[in-house]
Amino acid sequence: MGKFELITLPYAADALQPVISPETIAFHHGKHLQAYVNNLNNMIAGTKFEGMTLVDIVKQSDGGVFNNAGQILNHNLYFEALQAPQDDNQPTGKIATAIAEQFGSFADFKQQFQQQGASLFGSGWVWLSENTDGRLVISQEANAQNPVTKGLVPLLTFDVWEHAYYVDYRNRRPDYLSAMWSIVNWNVVNQRMK
């Protein structure tokens, strides 16, 4: 009966090559994310969480329900903001303006974002979010955490759990982070801004 379903990726499994291989997509989307979906559906059956949105579950739960709901929300935000590699892929529109105003340049923003991703200890996520004043915030979130629990609007995330990069980059997390910029879909990031 499962309320939540595995998202369909808005691109083919081989579309993100060479940044992310089809093998990584097969495991990351097809196995890891599917398991979080199955786990959450099993855990919330017959509970107060049945019928809630993912964001509301993340804001109101803890323990296993939080971990699985958080990981579904995180992965949906991750996978849905990617696209096939683009030459000289740059932010556009509102997000380009906001990055330039707050970070000085896209290069400076990338450096800070990658530094936060590379220095996160263990498993987690590096995020770009928008606060209630419309300011951009870069944050590290451990394990299944998501910036919505801090009142932020998540705009972009790079997954730094090892399963996100180990097949393609082995232990070279910084190389994965720097390669990701060519597959960010900035139109999706703009749509997430308030």
Interface residue list for Mn ion (CB under 5 A): 159, 161, 164
> To the nearest whole angstrom, how small is the minimum distance from the Cβ of residue 125 to Mn ion?
8
Three-point CA angle 105, 107, 112, nearest 5°: 100
Side chain identity, residue 29: H
The residue number whose beta carbon is nearest to Mn ion equals: 159
User: For the chain, first and last CA: distance in Å?
Assistant: 34
> To the nearest whole angstrom, how small is the minimum distance from the Cβ of residue 189 to Mn ion?
19
Distance of CA 160 to the CA centre of its chain: 9
> To the nearest whole angstrom, how small is the minimum distance from the Cβ of residue 33 to Mn ion?
7
- Residue with Cβ nearer Mn ion (78 or 113): 78
- Residue with Cβ nearer Mn ion (61 or 157): 157
- Residue with Cβ nearer Mn ion (123 or 182): 123
**Could you give the residue ranges of the DSSP H alpha helices within the chain?**
22-27, 34-44, 54-60, 63-79, 93-103, 106-119, 162-169, 173-179, 186-192
- Residue with Cβ nearer Mn ion (130 or 159): 159
> To the nearest whole angstrom, how small is the minimum distance from the Cβ of residue 32 to Mn ion?
6
